[in-house]
Structure 1
Amino acid sequence: MIYREEEREILPLCQDRNMAVVPWSPLAGGRCAHPWGTVTARNQVDDVSPLVWGATDTQDKVVIDNLEKVAREHGCTMAQESLAWMLSKPYITAPIVGTTSVRHVEEAVSALDIHLAEDEIQALEAPYRPHRKTEAY
């Protein structure tokens, strides 16, 4: 949810050509699973994710804060809501979800049962702004 630049060209092409899309790190190294600024065991030792996702990008904070609000309104976790959003896209085949516990696996699988209405999808997508291209991406 915090980096969607491929939606403009690559993903429509994949959909048009019936190509499988397997997103890597759909929860952005846990950023889409917790409120902004949450310290976890993973992000205390993860030196790679900040290089990929950025460490303090305020435009991502707006997206994460919105995700937290919408997930709360729907009575699900941020990870479930984020994965349900991704799975609502017809071009997504199977996201690669990194987990550190059985609970995370169960949470990810439960997202398959969440079906978002178009207005819910739009509410999740509304705060996203295109990212400036950097070498990390």
Structure 2
Amino acid sequence: MEYTKLGHTGLDVSRICLGSMSFGDSSNWIHKWLLNEEESRPIIKRALELGINFFDTANVYSLGKSEEILGSALKEYADRDQIVLATKVHGKMFDGPNGSGLSKKAIHSQIDHSLRRLQTDYVDLYIIHRWDYDTPIEETMEALHEIVKAGKVRYIGASAMYAWQFQKAQNIAEQHGWTKFVSMQNHLNLIYREEEREMIPYCDATKIALTPYSPLASGRLTRDASAHTKRSDTDEIARSKYDRTADQDQLIIKRVAELATKYEVSRVHVALAWLLQKRTVAAPIVGATKLSHVETAADAVQFKLTAKDIAYLEEPYVPHNIVGFS
């Protein structure tokens, strides 16, 4: 495994981050392809054996069950001082007032719930999952600063927003002397590159680390269009992101397959190598529902593409509608 600094911080993270959205309880959340605790733990353990030290989850994943599964496994299998643990806040955790969002009340309450579920005194990276249009960003940034100063959070990050929003939040934090974001978890892969227009140049200029989600486009970059999995057949969120542009994306997917055959590697190797060559990308968030998924992702860190390969993969891309900011 290779390691890198998380943006302009001194924090060392593995070049692959294990995403934990796939760990949880299908009965209480939108996804029906999740792994229960018994099925999840071997994957977490294998990730640690492969040198992955960066783990990402969210309070809203299975309404806290993902955090519980990850926290329990890491407590048993890992040294907390060697682990970089990230979770998120924003999503709806209960019906009624104050059940979601980025108010002071929500942030202070939800970090405590997350720490309890994760069985830890602090999280290394606390991420705002989406932009909250109903709460002043000044309130959000002050609350995040407060939980950092309270010792509950080491660094803060953001996810899935427009570049102007991210810049506004950073500017407000700087004006007040509050903690600033060190990372951006945005939607980025070979068939969705709209972040290259504004967000990535801004992050590059300000040394903000990228930890892209959906690096394999929910599996679309790893298999032929005719192949089916339980997730591909039931994941409505992924279908809403990619089905509309499926035809125009096929040429890119075919080129991924072509290069994988040429170099005798998996398509995962090619798709992740394209991301990892971007200097702003610290660690893609890779989900796994099989041991082979995490093993292949870890192995892909060693695979490199040539400049010619990269140009070949990128050439067919056409503009896409913005998705993922809901």
TM-score for the superposition, normalised by structure 1: 0.91
Is 2:186 the counterpart of 1:29? no
Please report how far the alpha carbon of residue 5 of structure 1 lies from its aligned counterpart in structure 2 after TM superposition. Answer: 0.7
Shift of 1:45: 2.0
Alignment of 1:1-137 (within 5 A): 1-54=190-243, 57-131=246-320, 133=321
Q: 1:15 and 1:126 mapped to 2: Cα distance?
A: 22
Q: 1:18 and 1:102, CA in 2 relative to 1: closer, same or farther beyond 3 A?
A: same
Work out whether residues 68 and 78 of structure 1, in 8 Å CA contact, stay in contact via their aligned partners in 2: yes
Q: What are the superposed Cα offsets for residues 40-81 of structure 1, whole Å, 9 maximum, x if unpaired?
A: 122122122101222562111111111111111111111111
RMSD: 1.6
Please list every run of at least 4 consecutive aligned residues from structure 1 whose deviation after the TM superposition is greater than 6 angstroms. none
Residues 66 and 127 of structure 1 are in contact (CA less than 8 Å); yes or no, is this contact kept in structure 2?
no
Query: What is the aligned-residue identity percentage?
Result: 37
Deviation by residue 1:77-97 (Cα, 9 ceiling, x = unmatched): 111110011101101011111
Please tell me whether the aligned partners of residues 215 and 272 of structure 2 are also in contact (alpha carbons under 8 angstroms).
Answer: yes
Mark the CA change 1:134 to 1:15 in structure 2 (over 3 Å): closer, same or farther. closer
**SS of structure 2 residue aligned to 1:97:** strand
Range moving further from structure 2, 110-119 or 48-57 = 48-57
- Higher percent of residues as strand: 2
Amino acid at match of 1:3: Y
- How many residue pairs are counted as aligned between the two chains? 136
CA deviation after TM superposition for structure 1 residue 135, in Å: 5.8
Instruction: Identify which of structures 1 and 2 has the higher relative contact order when contacts are C-alpha pairs closer than 8 Å and 6+ apart.
Output: 1
Corresponding residue SS for 1:25: coil
Task: Report SS of the residue matched to 1:30.
Answer: helix
In 1: Cα distance, 2:193 partner to 2:244 partner = 17
TM-score, normalization: structure 2? Answer: 0.40
8 Å CA contact 2:252–2:317 kept in 1: the answer is: yes
